[in-house]
Amino acid sequence: MRKEEIVELLKQQINSYKKLIDDLREQEKRQSEQITELITEVASLREALLQKGESLSKQKRVCKGLGKLIAVTSEKQLPPSGLLTDEERRRQEEERSLQRKARKNNGARRDMHADMEVEEHDIYPEQAEFDRNKARPLSEKLRISIRYECVPMRFIKHVYKIHSYTQDGRVYTGKTPPSAFLNSNYDASFIAGLMELRYIQSVPMERIIGYFESHGFTLKKPTAHKLIERASLLLENLYKCTAQTVLRDNYISADETYYKILVRGENGKESGVRKGYLWVIIGMRSKLLYVLYRDGSRSEDVILRELEDYRGVIQSDGYSPYRKLQKEGYPHITRIACLQHVKRKFIDCGEDEEAGKMVGLINKLYHQEHKHRIGEKNWTEEKNRRFRNEYAPPVLEEIRAHLDRIESDPSLLPKSELYAAVVYMRNEWDAIENIFKHGATRLDNNTVERMNRYFSISRRNSLFFGSHKGAERGAILYTLALSCRMNGINLFQYLTDIINTTAEWQPNTPLEKYRELLPDRYKNNA
């Protein structure tokens, strides 16, 4: 082969290699562009999924709120699925149906109000020819008919004519009944009625004044507020004694709620309305409630300073100041969790299957707990503690295993409600286990949640407290009102008696003297 032919052949090979290299480069470029497009598309899909998750979460919350408004029955703890067979469930429904039919009136039971004031009346025939002396009873058993009468609020003006006499060189003067306040025309019962309407029935002051007026008594708004203010000062030592007693209880439950406060500026003019927080602490054994207010602050310093000397068990939700009570700085405090707060996080996940399983597992704990009640059928705290040591560990182990499975799922989105529920439960785990180390502790914080409803109702009916001082007075009066509520004490009767009893006590009277007047002991003395 000649030299020229060899050169030509090499040139052709070089050109073919160049073309191949160009083709490879072009292919690499196209692949690079495709990879970039795929990365962009994946990022876009991820963002869309997150937004969709947030949108779905928002819709679920809206639907849940609407459901609460529409629902006419409260949530009940049901046995976990799988504990009843279809046949057992059908038989249970049939038995309930037969019971409702047997009672008639759609299953409703008539309340006979056995503990109310009773007046008895004998009703005889009214015919002119009827003569009781000649008549003979048809039966020894009388037919009974009942009517309930309502007597609206009555206002009575008592005028005391004070007589004075001299005898044997001495002057004798009649003594008027004690007054709630010095130089006041208002009896303790008047103030008690005012406070019951305001702090138990949650009626705004304007409506109370209108209600009084419709029943014949004109009360000016400044006078009403002044009576409340003076009552709070009179009851301040009783409030302090309640706080002291609650913080000596070895098992307390705590939560916080809010109220609108009208805040005034330095020049005394109104500067706006802000949210102020009230801390609610319940002595679970004494059944006394203590409302703490410190300038409306929700800062952790408020509750941590209040509990710095506390010794015992405290139950709360997972708010960070409460979780700090589990740390080394509070060696005498054992914190336990609220299972309802934990469960609610998973219920908020909607139709998610894994969340539904977790709710069922938590309900297993409630189902076991409802089998016994301390104080009934010789069931004691110690028996309950041993019972918990038997049933709780395997259920808790099952719950923890399911929690680990959910957490290890790679498809779990970090901004999803399920992820938030898992994190909340993980942070609360030690406090959850602490519940079952005691015999008398509750599984949840529902007691204090129920008391907080009185603040919620009042928020809807009233605009705000007029100042921080007004909120402090509210804390005092709510403390006594809700403590009476927890102990089944009629607030009107209680305040009427207490105000008359303590009206002449000196401000420096030792708090121990007030202890016997608190609702938990007043009930026993009544």
pLDDT tens-digit readout, 374-421: 988 899 999 999 999 999 999 999 999 999 999 999 988 888 999 999
Q: What is the pLDDT of residue 39?
A: 82
Q: Are 226 and 172 in contact (CB under 8 A)?
A: no
> 433 CB contacts (<8 Å, ≥6 apart)?
396
Q: How many Cα atoms occupy the beta-carbon half-sphere of 191 within 13 Å?
A: 29
- Kindly provide the residue ranges of all beta strands, DSSP E only, lying in 140-269, ordered along the sequence: 164-167, 170-173, 251-264
Point out the least confidently predicted range of 80-84, 99-103, 463-467. 80-84
Residue 270 confidence (pLDDT): 59
Predicted confidence at residue 415, as pLDDT, reads 86
Q: Assess whether pLDDT exceeds 60 at residue 111.
A: yes
Res 72: pLDDT: 43
The better pLDDT of the pair 107, 9 is held by 9
Least confident among 102-111, 402-411, 505-514: 102-111
Q: Does pTM top 0.85 for this prediction?
A: no
pLDDT of residue 146: 83
3-state helix/strand/coil string of 455-506: HHHHHHHCCCECCHHHHHHHHHHHHHHHHHHHCCCCHHHHHHHHHHHHCCCC
**For the chain, how many residues are written?**
526
Distance, CA of 522 to CA of 515 (rounded, Å): 9
Q: Render pLDDT for 155-182 as a digit per residue (tens, 0 to 9).
A: 888 888 888 888 888 888 888 777 777 7
Task: State both tokens at 253.
Answer: 């439950």
pLDDT reported for residue 264: 75
Count Cβ atoms below 10 Å from residue 243 Cβ, excluding itself.
21
Look at residue 66 in the predicted model and tell me its pLDDT.
63
